[in-house]
Amino acid sequence: MSRTDPGSRRRDGNSHSHNGGNSLDHGHNGGDSSGDGGNAEYGRRTFTRSRSHFTDRITADGRDGWPVEAGRYRLVASRACPWASRSLVSRRLLGLESALSLAVADPIQDDRSWRFTLDPDGRDPVLGIRYLSEAYDARETGYPDGVSVPAIVDVPSGRLVTNDFQQITLDFATEWTALHRPGAPDLYPERLRDEIDEVMADIYRDVNNGVYRAGFATRQSEYEEACTGVFRRLEALSKRLADRRYLVGDTLTEADIRLFTTLVRFDAVYHGHFKCNRWKLAEDPVLWAYARDLYQTPGFGDTVDFGHIKRHYYRVHTGINPTRIVPVGPDVAGWLTAHHRQELGGRPFGDGTPPGPVPPAEEVPATGRP
């Protein structure tokens, strides 16, 4: 699935899937084609999540025809999207900024989906394109499931390489090692992979994907089943994290990244917009402290733009929020308050070190930070 969260659309402008790999299961293509007026189909049709269509891998040995090579590829992401945000966190923690350039898409899509209207003249300065769909079209025409992020594009050819959001970050950790910064953490340690995979599968099913199943449910029973699953899993995670700093082992892993990108959006979006409202993240002392610990860890919070997050969900999902009004709250200042999780021990970066400063061109503007 590669899709970022809500917003992937077919190249012809018709809504077909969420940018996070979400498909709306229907017999005809719907959608909004009136500029950036949102998508009224979200919340009106049964939600399913589709698989990533472009699953080539960029590997150390280049076995799929795409060898790891500094400067060759460009990561296209949206700071609004939890699936794409995984790649932003991983790239920062591993120090891949100089090896893999970054294009940040506008959080508000128009009828051709992800666009580069944050850049001068509305064109990505490296790829020279206005829409991510142009890189998809250069790879294949008539592709299914829409245009999604994260996406990695081959700069010389302008072709999409992969939009496989489940695999991209694992490959960053295991295939891009020659380009890691000195002191980069091992985010997917081999001895813990079985446990990490098990934890991530539960988080994906019930939390990462569960909030979407609740938010886009079209029947009361669907909503209640999904919402119950979300909070059942959050309660289990709260118990798991009560006496350990991180999900698996005593260092940060891919599992923490995948949980974080949902938790950081929970109170701002999923609690109200997706009706996952049994309680707020800030009302669970364990998960709230855990999330703040991660947010304050270099490589996590410095990739988060709360402005992009709220504008995307509330302005794109017009089937759920037809007025497109973006809430003024919640107050995000709490993300910077003391968490005291260090008292549980743990070594965030293992034997490594924190990443360096955010490249100036990639800093989140003050309007998106606490």
* Tokens 């410095």 sit on residue: 302
pLDDT of residue 242: 99
Closest CA to 252 of 78, 94, 80, 75: 94
Average pLDDT over residues 66-70: 99
Residue 71 lies in a domain: no
Please give the residue that has the higher pLDDT: either 30 or 97.
Answer: 97
**Number of other residues whose CB lies within 10 A of the CB of residue 334:** 14
Please give the residue that has the higher pLDDT: either 97 or 110.
Answer: 97
- pLDDT band for 26, please (50, 70, 90 cuts): very low
- With a pLDDT cut of 70, the percent of the chain lying above it is 86
- Return the active site residues: 81, 212
Rounded CA-CA distance 286/293 in Å is 11
* Tokens 């998508």 sit on residue: 39
What torsion do the CA atoms of 49, 50, 52, 53 make, to the nearest 10 degrees? -170
pLDDT at 9 over 60: no
pLDDT of residue 212: 98
- pLDDT band for 5, please (50, 70, 90 cuts): very low
Residue 338 lies in a domain: yes
pLDDT of residue 34: 38
- pLDDT band for 110, please (50, 70, 90 cuts): confident
Residue 304 lies in a domain: yes
- pLDDT band for 49, please (50, 70, 90 cuts): low
Tally the domains of the chain. Answer: 1
Average pLDDT over residues 294-302: 99
Residue 296 lies in a domain: yes
Residue 217 lies in a domain: yes
Average pLDDT across the chain, whole number: 90
- pLDDT band for 111, please (50, 70, 90 cuts): confident
- The answer to whether 73 and 154 are in contact (CB under 8 A) is yes
Phi, psi torsion values for 47, nearest 5 degrees: -95, 130
pLDDT of residue 51: 64
Residue-wise pLDDT tens digits, 201-240:
999 999 999 999 999 999 999 999 999 999 999 999 999 9
pLDDT of residue 44: 59
pLDDT at 27 over 70: no
Rounded CA-CA distance 158/128 in Å is 9
Structural domain boundaries enclosing 263: 190-368
Name residues whose C-beta falls within 8 Å of residue 103's C-beta, 6 or more positions apart in sequence.
74, 75, 76, 77, 116, 119, 124, 126, 127
Please give the residue that has the higher pLDDT: either 216 or 19.
Answer: 216
Quick one: three-class SS letters along the chain? Answer: CCCCCCCCECCCCCECEECCCEEECCCCCECCCCCCCCCCCCCCCCEEECCCCCECCCECCCCCCCECCCCCEEEEECCCCHHHHHHHHHHHHHCCCCCCEEEECCCCCECCECECCCCHHHCCCCCCCCECHHHHHHHCCCCCCCECCCEEEECCCCEEEECCHHHHHHHHHHCCHHHCCCCCCCCCCHHHHHHHHHHHHHHHHHHHCHHHHHHCCCCHHHHHHHHHHHHHHHHHHHHHCCCCCCCCCCCCCHHHHHHHHHHHHHHHHHCCCCCCCCCCHHHCHHHHHHHHHHHCCCCCHHHCCHHHHHHHHHHHCCCCCCCCCCCCCCCHHHHHCCCCHHHHCCCCCCCCCCCCCCCHHHCCCHHHCC
Closest CA to 270 of 201, 78, 279, 23: 279
pLDDT at 15 over 70: no
Q: HSE of 200 in the Cβ direction (CA atoms, 13 Å)?
A: 20
Residue 94 lies in a domain: no
pTM, entire model: 0.90
pLDDT of residue 36: 64
Name residues whose C-beta falls within 8 Å of residue 206's C-beta, 6 or more positions apart in sequence.
229, 230, 232, 233
- pLDDT band for 166, please (50, 70, 90 cuts): very high
Residue 155 lies in a domain: no
- pLDDT band for 112, please (50, 70, 90 cuts): confident
Tokens for 220?
């009361």
Residue 209: CATH number of its domain: 1.20.1050.10
Average pLDDT over residues 20-37: 38
Residue 359 lies in a domain: yes
Report the Cα 296 to chain-centroid distance in Å.
18
